Amino acid sequence: MAEAEKVIRGIKFGILSPEMIRKISVTAIVTPEVYDENGIPVEGGVMDPRLGVIEPGQRCATCGNTLAQCPGHFGHLELAKPIIHVGFVRHVYMLLKTTCHACNRVKIPEKDLERYRELYRKLKDRWPQLANSLVEFVRQKAAKALECPHCGARQYKIILEKPATFIEEGGRGKLYPDVIKQWLSNIPNTDLEVLGLDPEVARPEWMIVNVLPIPPIAVRPSIVLETGMRAEDDLTHKLVDIIRTNEKLKEAINSGAPEIIVEDLWELLQYHVMTYIDNELPGIPPAKRRSGMPLKTLAQRLRGKEGRFRGNLSGKRVDFSARTVISPDPNLDINEVGVPYEVAMTLTVPEYVTPWNLDRMREYVLNGPYRWPGANYVIDPSGRRLDLRYVKDLKALAESLKPGYIVERHLINGDIVLFNRQPSLHKMSIMAHRVRVLPGKTFRLHLAVCPPYNADFDGDEMNLHVPQTLEARAEAEELLLVEKHILSPRYGGPIIGGIQDYISGGYLLTLKSTLLTKEQVADLLATIDYSGEIPEPAILSPIEAWSGKQILSLLLPEDFNFMGETKLSSGNLKCTSEECFWDTFLVVKRGKVLEGVVDKTVIGSQQPKSLMHYLIVEYGDRFGAEFMNKAFKLFLRYIEMVGFTMTLDNVELRDKALAEAWEYVQNSYKEVEKLIELYNSGQLEPVPGRTLAETLEIRILDVLAKARDEGGSMALKYMGLTNSVYVMARTGARGSNLNIIQMAVLLGQQSVRGERIWRGYRGRVLAHFKYGDLSPKARGFVEGSFRKGLTPIEVFFHAAGGREGLVDTAVRTSQSGYMQRRLINALQDLYVGYDLTVRSAYGELVQFKYGEDGVDPRKTSFGKAVDVDRIIVKNVGWRMTP
Amino acid sequence: MSTRSEKISHKILEHEYVPKHELLSKEEAIKVLKELGVRPEQLPWIRASDPVARLLGAKPGDIVRVIRKSPTAGVSIAYRFVVVG
């Protein structure tokens, strides 16, 4: 702990030399035996006790430390014959190609060599990239030489036979590792420099191993099964294989066995050492366990998603976190998260005992670990940690608490926690919430924060993290709190806002026809703890009645002006000015809603330039959050009061409407028929760049697409704003006109890859159609609606079209996920400096000014620093007539 | 450097998509580097063989100013360090 602080300046990778391996080794491994008959590890075996402590309580035979302190020690194995290290095969190949087989010099004339070396030394530190290309150039040049410029020897072609066999064509034939090692060790240091090797730490002959380091037992622990049997680690198994083969090879050499036998054993040893290092090499069969599972050897531990790097170093598991299913709670604040008691009693926050919180802390300690709000641990001033589960006299401990103690208390209401839902695609995927401890077993969140997390409640789970230090908590509260993220940097608008029933409710409340009695007004205002005056009623006689717009106005600032179209203002309800018969143009003057309804474009999430957006921009995040808390509760209370539901009747159109739609579809059929006739008679005019058949398809698709949209819209006209389904679609609460058409009128053309469905039998999709039938119904035009039902054939077409969507989402998510990963890896260390430049971690300039204009997109209105139109409305909107 | 330089037409400088490049004098270059607080090689690079760089007669070690239209800022200024290549 109290060691001097050291700074890592850099990391240099090199190759272990045989001498070094012997030096760090505590013992030579000499026998393939692991345990004797009594189950005691054999000295000189792979489980030699000198390699480290395995069982608790033992003392290390090498360093004398116990299990916790002993770092483990390497052993070594002397190989009977050298072996090529698979990781360096490419380097060895390069070296063999670029150096002479006779004098072992780089095949570059002496004076060029001198020049390159000079250049390389100059470039190395300042221009590593250029140095690399110089090395590449030298390598290519050296490999090309037909004759050695130093000794004049003729050069042979070296062939690499995967995975690790080198052949000298025309020369010695197969090059054995010992020959290669000899060759490589003769290359002078000065020659290696220009080939890009640092001979100080990576002499090439070290790439051929003749001493194998045996890793400590801690790296490959054996597991004791319930049956009392020992199961060894994959690495241990592999090491035993290597030692056994090595023994055999040694024996064969000593007994003067025939050449072939020695060679075969050598080859086998090469295989074992290779698979010990990497068991997923191309071209060689992976070493398997008895069960047939490939062994997990050294490279497998490091590589891939669950490897050491991505799995354990970039991705660590953390304490003080919880995960459970999420569910909605409209009664919470948008800043809050509901936390189950069980979770709150497991996660803790360290709180320093001070004279001011002493009583509270005593209370926690007294409650103990099993009663909320209690505490799980107490840390006394000496740093001793007391587990309250085992403290017999909590009362005495509570009494002895005094400033200087730290109480690790349960999570309580108001604590700051981080809340996260994967995939964490933007910064709003992790936000800070205030804790609200609640009964139940799920995390509860406000519905308006679903969009930034992209959460719903069909079984989604979310993670919660408790920051432990005061700094972390302050930082989370100041930077990460939900309300600070209402505006999204993605498009400058609010990403948190009204969804679904909030929008329906807002619409119903602000309808012109909504009149509220005094009781209703009181009820509504009570839900938001309103304590001001009730305004004068809009209607005085025969009874006093208030409009919904009046109630909403109570929440708006008194100087707020806003005017804009609502979502409803389209088609037959279109209004672009104050003079609006349909009440679809929202006008707010001096904080009073004078006209218009509230719907998606007014309070919706992801709706820039809306009333909600300007409220937040002009009155701040805090006000925006508070407005949402109150307005949304109001809307929900009202929708509860009047009741809002949908039924089958909502998608049932009267006969006249359907007949009208149907007529349109029939006409489209005739049009298609005409097109087909034209095509058959050869009179169809082809679209440029398309064949006649393609032209026909395009034209038919156009006609049929229009048939559904136009025909459907004609029928929709018969729906009114008394119809809940239609209300939801028009106000933007849920669903679209298309959804309604598909429910009430017809599904329309189904398509796969943007074409009518044609795959199946030859010339027809199903056996029910005639060969070559191009009519709408034979190619996936579905006349049925979800209300009416589909014929079996229509169901098939619909399934075919639906499948495409599923496949697309699956493919898209995997592809964009990979892109995201690479982008994040590339961009993660970039930062915007105080001079607004964007720089990499090394100080390289990426942008001279962030975004070229140095502007935070959250604080602009669509790139412009000033939105003149809005400023006018904001300040003098109260006397404007748009 | 290259004898091919004559073959490049000066017309490319007039192309809509080729932003205006200026070669900086030594004093200017030093000033710019000081303002940005960077070593020359920490700037983005441009190859000396880049057609525009060749027309400007930029040599490795020089610094080029690029003035271009930007959808966000109207006009934005960037600098490039000329490297071998």
Mutual angle of helices A737-744 and A692-716, in 10-degree steps: 90
Average pLDDT over residues A33-58: 85
In single-letter form, the type of residue at position A429 comes to: S
Q: Is A851 helix (H, G, I), strand (E, B) or coil?
A: helix
Stated as kind and residue range, the H or E segment containing A275 is helix A259-277
pTM of the full structure: 0.78
Chain A CB contacts of B71 below 8 Å: 863
Q: How far is B39 from chain A (nearest CA, A)?
A: 9
pLDDT (tens digit per residue) in A713-735: 888 888 888 899 999 998 988 98
**Model confidence at A743: pLDDT above 80:** yes
Q: What is the pLDDT of residue A275?
A: 92
Q: Which residues of A touch B (CB under 8 A)?
A: 126-127, 130, 835, 837, 842-846, 848-849, 851-855, 863
pLDDT (tens digit per residue) in A354-367: 999 999 999 999 99
Distances (CA, A) of A586 to A524, A554, A569, A878: 22, 16, 10, 13
CB B12 within 8 A of CB B51: yes
Chain B CB contacts of A842 below 8 Å: 42
Average pLDDT over residues A45-66: 84
pLDDT (tens digit per residue) in A301-314: 998 888 898 888 88
Q: Nearest by CB to B78, from A848, A853, A863: name it.
A: A848
Contacts of B9 (CB under 8 A, 6+ apart): none
pLDDT (tens digit per residue) in A78-107: 999 999 999 999 999 999 999 998 888 899
Chain A CB contacts of B36 below 8 Å: 835, 837, 845, 848
Q: What is the pLDDT of residue B1?
A: 46
B13 in contact with A at a CB cutoff of 8 Å?
no
Burial class (CB in 10 A: 0-12, 13-18, 19+), A113: buried
> Whose structure tokens read 């209690």?
A374
> Cα–Cα distance between B66 and A567 in angstroms, integer?
45
**Model confidence at B21: pLDDT above 50:** yes
Cβ-defined contact of B72 to A845 (cutoff 8 Å): no
Average pLDDT over residues A154-179: 87
Name the residue with higher pLDDT: A334 or A872. Answer: A334
pLDDT grade for A492, boundaries at 50, 70 and 90: confident
pLDDT (tens digit per residue) in A237-249: 999 989 999 999 9
**Model confidence at A126: pLDDT above 80:** no
Mutate to test the interface with B, among A137, A852, A859, A862 (most CBs of B within 10 A): A852
pLDDT (tens digit per residue) in A402-412: 999 999 999 99
Chain B CB contacts of A843 below 8 Å: 38-39, 42
> Cα–Cα distance between A114 and A127 in angstroms, integer?
19
Q: What is the pLDDT of residue A1?
A: 52
pLDDT (tens digit per residue) in A701-712: 889 988 888 888
> Whose structure tokens read 């057609």?
B51
pLDDT grade for B84, boundaries at 50, 70 and 90: confident
pLDDT (tens digit per residue) in A618-656: 898 999 999 999 999 999 999 999 999 999 989 888 888
pLDDT (tens digit per residue) in B27-65: 999 999 998 999 898 999 999 988 899 888 888 889 999
Mean pLDDT of chain A: 89
Average pLDDT over residues A416-436: 93
> Cα–Cα distance between A705 and A727 in angstroms, integer?
25
Residue A53 Cα to chain centre, angstroms: 40
Mutual angle of helices A501-510 and A724-731, in 10-degree steps: 100
Contacts of A6 (CB under 8 A, 6+ apart): none
Could you tell me the residue ranges of all domains in chain B?
Answer: 4-83
Q: How far is B3 from chain A (nearest CA, A)?
A: 23
Q: How far is B72 from chain A (nearest CA, A)?
A: 6
Contacts of A773 (CB under 8 A, 6+ apart): A763, A764, A779
pLDDT (tens digit per residue) in A604-622: 888 888 898 889 988 989 9
pLDDT (tens digit per residue) in A846-857: 999 888 888 888
Query: What's the CATH number for B4-83?
Result: 3.90.940.20
Average pLDDT over residues A419-424: 92
pLDDT (tens digit per residue) in A184-238: 999 999 889 889 888 899 999 999 999 999 999 889 888 888 887 888 888 999 9
CB A340 within 8 A of CB A440: yes
Q: What is the pLDDT of residue A532?
A: 87
Mutate to test the interface with B, among A848, A855, A862, A864 (most CBs of B within 10 A): A848
Please report, rounded to a whole number, the percentage of residues in chain A having pLDDT higher than 90: 44
Q: How far is B73 from chain A (nearest CA, A)?
A: 5
Contacts of A189 (CB under 8 A, 6+ apart): A199
A684 phi/psi in degrees, rounded to 5: -70, 130
pLDDT grade for B4, boundaries at 50, 70 and 90: low
Cβ-defined contact of B73 to A852 (cutoff 8 Å): yes
**Model confidence at A17: pLDDT above 70:** yes
Please report, rounded to a whole number, the percentage of residues in chain A having pLDDT higher than 70: 99
B66 in contact with A at a CB cutoff of 8 Å?
no
Stated as kind and residue range, the H or E segment containing A537 is none
Q: Is A219 helix (H, G, I), strand (E, B) or coil?
A: helix
